[in-house]
Structure 1
């Protein structure tokens, strides 16, 4: 029986949960599909059958990626909070954040090089404007620089407050986005709560998803090891995801197709709005539940996704370089191929990304 005053119970897992890598890999694969289509063809050139259902499914990617970020923090780092090893672990997270920040800036150059003159690229590097395709990496980098310092506070909070805080943060973020002027700084607003004119991932706007991931990660730590409790946990996650999707369906009634098309066109993605988030998070939870239920067997069957999820940063670097530096800049592949051809390129790029990561991993093993 779980009491609402209970603090996190965080036993360490004996082995890496490959299902988490699988879920992260699916999120990145959907991201690669979306980025390939928008980066080589352009969304306006996608036929209706490509927007719904194909491009629609990629909207699960961002919520799934951020949820898994929170889950991974909980599984790998929360059990170490308060131990003698915690300062080293915290430093590791912060250094990882600096590494991701470097690659965020480097990939900003790669993304913008085929599209913008040097002054615009420099302005983006100095946080005077924002890119598009690499901005999720910017969110990830900044989050890693400050979240390690508040994880000990999370571990001291009773369950009722850990359940309430994500809702409170979400409400505060919406109120700030709509009613606070941020001292006239649109850039600060975009970084914290997002702005309609900038394609960013706000730290406060997306923090509820990270916190939800922390809660799911706590549940994984406690219940993933036993088949019976694992099945109940997966049923709960799948039920929540289905409930979110049902909520979207209710809001979309009676113009369901138009609502799905709006989601595919990113309406309500930045800043986040209720219909988009219900759809995106609902699908993400269902995918997550299926991955965790499948466990190691599913991770083995879907090995390319698991390999990608096991090294998310390298996967992100590889596909951005391939799309914008190699295909678009060097080969001039902008709007050269049809939509089916671009889909084939995306599938090939997903497999190439997995192959590259596996090759680098093998090379490192042989070099030891």
Structure 2
């Protein structure tokens, strides 16, 4: 029995959890599909049947991706906090953050080259403005630079405060976004809590999803190896996901279909609004529950998605380069294809990304 005053006492796992790779792979696959459609066609040209349900389902990806980020942090690093090896692992996380920051800036150039002037690109590189499709990478880069210093504090917090923290941070973020002027610095506001005029992922605005992932990761460390407890964890995640989706449905009445269309059109995505987050986070929790339920077997059945999820950064780099450097810049493929054709390209790009990662992995093995 776990008491509400208990601090994390977490065992290390001796093996990689395939369900986490699968969930991450699903998030990236949905992201690739969304980016292909918006990057080659634009959502204004998507037919109604494409917005709901097809484009609508991609809205699970951002919440799932960030949630899995927190889960992976918990599983890989929380058991090592405050051990003699922790300074080395903290440095490793921060160096990873610098690597992601480099690719964020490099891919900013790739994304903006077909559409913007050199001055616009330079402004984005200097944090004077923001791109769109690669901004999630900017969130991870900054998070990896400061979160390693916060993990020891998380491990000293009693369970009741860890459970309340996502709610408290969410409320604080909303209040700051609506009522604090940030010394008239909109870039700082966008980076922390998001701003309607800048397409960013705020550190505080999305921190509740990371914290939720940390809590799920703690539960995986405790219970994943025990079938009965794993089923309870799956039930809890699916239950919360269903509750969020039900909350979305109730609050959307009587215009529930209009609410679904609004979510598909990204209404309430930046800054995060209640209806969008209920739908996105609810779907993400259900997907995570299904991945944990399927476990290694589901990861084998959906091998391409698991391969993508095992190397998220490489998958992200590859699909952005293909969409914006190859299709948009070199082939001039902006609004050339119909929606069904772009949809097929997106599905093909998901498979091609998995093949690329597998080939790189095989090449490295042969080079040893």
Shorter chain as normaliser: what TM range? over 0.9
Matched, 1:146 2:146: yes
Runs of 4+ in 1 over 6 A off after TM superposition: none
Q: Which whole-Å deviations, capped at 9, do the CAs of 1:31-54 have from their partners, x for residues lacking one?
A: 000000000000000000000000
User: Which position in structure 2 is the counterpart of 1:248?
Assistant: 248
| Per-residue CA distance 1:227-284 (angstroms, 9 max, x = gap) | 1110110010000000000000001111111000000000000000100000000000
Aligned equivalent of 2:59: 59
Cα distance in 1, alignment partners of residues 278 and 48 from structure 2:
22
Hey, what does 2:367 align to over in structure 1?
367
Q: How many residues align?
A: 368
Distance 1:316 1:60 in 2: 17
Report the counterpart of residue 10 of structure 1 in structure 2. Answer: 10
Query: Which residue of 2 is the match for residue 115 of structure 1?
Result: 115
Residue 194 of structure 2 corresponds to which residue in structure 1? 194
Shift of 1:151: 0.2
1:321 maps to 321
**Secondary structure of 2:266's aligned partner:** coil
Shift of 1:14: 1.5
Matched, 1:26 2:17: no
Q: What is the rounded CA distance, in whole Å, between the counterparts of 2:209 and 2:344 in structure 1?
A: 32
Is 1:82 the counterpart of 2:82? The answer is yes
What's the counterpart of residue 184 of structure 1? 184
Structure 1 length normalisation: TM-score? 1.00
Partners of 1:165 and 1:288 in 2: how far apart? 21
* Counterpart mapping for 1:1-368 below 5 A: 1-368=1-368
Separation in 2, partners of 1:223, 1:242: 22
CA RMSD of aligned residues (A): 0.4
Using the alignment, how far apart are the partners of 1:56 and 1:168 within structure 2? 28
SS in 2 for 1:254: coil
TM-score normalised to structure 2 length: 1.00
Moved more, 8-17 or 22-31: 8-17
Query: Secondary structure of 2:342's match?
Result: helix
Q: Secondary structure at the match of 1:197?
A: coil
Counterpart-to-counterpart distance in 1, 2:148 and 2:98: 13
Displacement of 1:170 after TM fit? 0.6
Quote the offset at 1:164 in angstroms: 1.0
**What's the CA shift for 1:9?**
1.9
- CA positional deviation for 1:165: 1.2
For 1:335 and 1:166, the matched residues in 2 are separated by 41
Partners of 1:143 and 1:94 in 2: CA distance: 9
Structure 1: how far apart are the matches of 2:9 and 2:306?
Answer: 28
Q: Distance in 2 between the 1:207 and 1:338 partners?
A: 38
Inter-partner Cα distance in structure 1 for 2:14 and 2:142? 30
Alpha-carbon distance between aligned partners in 2 of 1:226 and 1:3, rounded to the nearest angstrom: 20
